[in-house]
Amino acid sequence: MPGYPQAVDRPSPEQQASNAKGAALAREKLAQAKADAQRRGQLPRTEPRKKKGGPKRDSGDPMLFGAAIQDLLASRGWEEPVAIGGVFGRWREIVGAELGLHTRPEAFEDGEVIVSADSTAWATQVRLLAPTLVRRLNEELGDGTVTAVKVRGPNLAPPRQAGHIRVKGSRGPGDTFG
């Protein structure tokens, strides 16, 4: 009837018990995920984040998706790994089509980007371009993030064994023509 408030349906005792079980299961899964992250060494930051100036947002207020993702990355300390992954994904755009065709980034460790080349000639080219690559990568990631570029050439032959015995007619590692 108009003018009278609608009756509110209350959950049945079975629904309340089911909701309680679901909440307990969620708490258990969260504790398990935190323990797994701690074993991997990927716990969220313990120091508080710096707060931005401006009006405060209530926790229940809606938030833009991009801002929510940025908050998540900041709270977990994932900004740098995500930025590195973005650079690795856009490698050809960053280094150029020709160089990107013959090289690929392998890893990022302690400020060093490890790049593999498909021939010794391209490995030499990357070594010559290393200062330029460091500057370009720091433009993408922020100053001081990348300190050096290490280059790995192709692995076409097994490593030579140390010693004095050699096979007559041996041609060496087999990558003499690039």
Contact 141, 108 (CB under 8 A): no
* pLDDT tens track, the chain, 178 positions: 555 555 556 667 777 666 677 777 777 877 777 777 777 766 655 665 566 655 666 666 788 888 888 787 778 877 777 777 777 888 888 888 898 899 988 888 888 888 999 988 999 999 999 999 989 888 887 788 888 999 988 875 666 666 666 667 666 665 555 4
- Is the pTM for the entire model greater than 0.75? no
Give a yes or no: residue 41 inside a domain: no
Range of the domain at 84: 80-152
Whether 145 is in a domain gets the answer: yes
Rg of the chain over Cα atoms, rounded to whole angstroms, equals 28
What's the domain count of the chain? 1
| CA–CA dist 98, 91 (Å, integer) | 11
- The CATH number that applies at residue 127 is 3.30.300
Q: For residue 110, is it within any domain? A: yes
For residue 33, tell me if it sits in a domain: no
